[in-house]
Amino acid sequence: MNSFLHTLTGNGDIFWRGFKTTVELFLIAAAGSLVLGTLLAAARVSPVPMLRAVGMAYVQIVRNTPLTLLFAFLVFAVPKLDINIDYFPSACIALIAYTSAFICEVVRAGVNTVASGQAEAARALGMTFGQVLGQIVLPQAFRSIVPPLMSVLIAMLKNTTIAAGFSVVEAGAIPQYMSERGENQFATLTWITIGFLLLVVPLVVLQRRLERKWAVAR
């Protein structure tokens, strides 16, 4: 037991740095993917055929592209175009681009749950498509997509570990540093698992609170 505890207490600097970067990566990517995903969903339900086509093409291409390939493209291919992006921003861009495709489909599904009569009534009052979507449809849609949306964000949190393979020092990179120090890998991986559980639990609690709150509102 002492050896197990020492793995954490004796290497707190590595664990702190790794999980701090993971949290930063998650928060930035979550905010960016929510914005981009919502915009893509708006494009997919737009009355403009071109926007619908662009939105659908983006979702189909990105969802069927491995996330690791997106990381590799940004880290190795983009610099060949004389565009230099640091590893951390590259990881953020890759996660945002990938996760937004999934959020788009979740938001679009939520939009489809809103009765079409509400949008028609709003348009009859002279509201534009943007006003109908932003003021009438999306507020109701987000109430119904909390569970799947939170599932996508939790999956993205776990996907941040891929960044470790592209020179981003986050939680996924901890085992490599611990191996160099000769620490027990089983204990290391156990502590990393506990760390991710501690990050996921608040998201689950938030999901349940929002579900209860918005269920009453409905």
Please report, in tens digits, the pLDDT of each residue of the chain (218 residues total): 677 787 888 878 888 888 999 999 999 999 999 999 999 998 998 888 898 899 999 999 999 999 999 998 888 888 888 888 888 899 999 999 999 999 999 998 888 887 777 767 777 777 777 777 777 777 888 888 888 888 899 999 988 888 887 778 788 888 888 887 777 788 888 888 998 999 999 888 888 888 777 654 45
Q: In whole angstroms, what is the distance from residue 18 CA to residue 16 CA?
A: 6
Task: Give the model's pLDDT for residue 1.
Answer: 66
Q: What is the dihedral of CA 92, 27, 161, 194, to 10 degrees?
A: 170
Residues with Cβ within 8 Å of 156's Cβ and at least 6 positions away in sequence, in order, are 26, 29, 30, 33, 95, 99
Tell me, what amino acid is at 16? W
Classify residue 140: in a domain, yes or no: yes
Task: Give the model's pLDDT for residue 3.
Answer: 77
Q: Domain holding 165: CATH number?
A: 1.10.3720.10
Burial 33-55 (b: 16+ CB within 10 A, else e): bbebbbebbbbbbbeeeeeeeeb
* CA angle, residues 102, 104, 106, in degrees to nearest 5: 75
C-alpha torsion sign, points 47, 49, 54, 60: positive
SS3 66: coil
Single out the residue of 96, 91, 113, 69 nearest to residue 153, CA to CA.
Answer: 96
Classify residue 184: in a domain, yes or no: no
Q: How many domains does the chain have?
A: 1
Task: Give the model's pLDDT for residue 214.
Answer: 66
Q: In whole angstroms, what is the distance from residue 184 CA to residue 10 CA?
A: 12
Where in the sequence is the domain holding 66, given as residue range(s)? 16-171
Classify residue 29: in a domain, yes or no: yes
**pTM for the complete prediction?**
0.87
Q: Residue 208: phi, psi to the nearest 5?
A: -65, -40
Classify residue 194: in a domain, yes or no: no
Classify residue 138: in a domain, yes or no: yes
Q: Please report how many Cα atoms fall inside a 13 Å half-sphere around the Cα of residue 166, on the Cβ side.
A: 26
Task: Give the model's pLDDT for residue 39.
Answer: 92
Classify residue 75: in a domain, yes or no: yes
Classify residue 58: in a domain, yes or no: yes
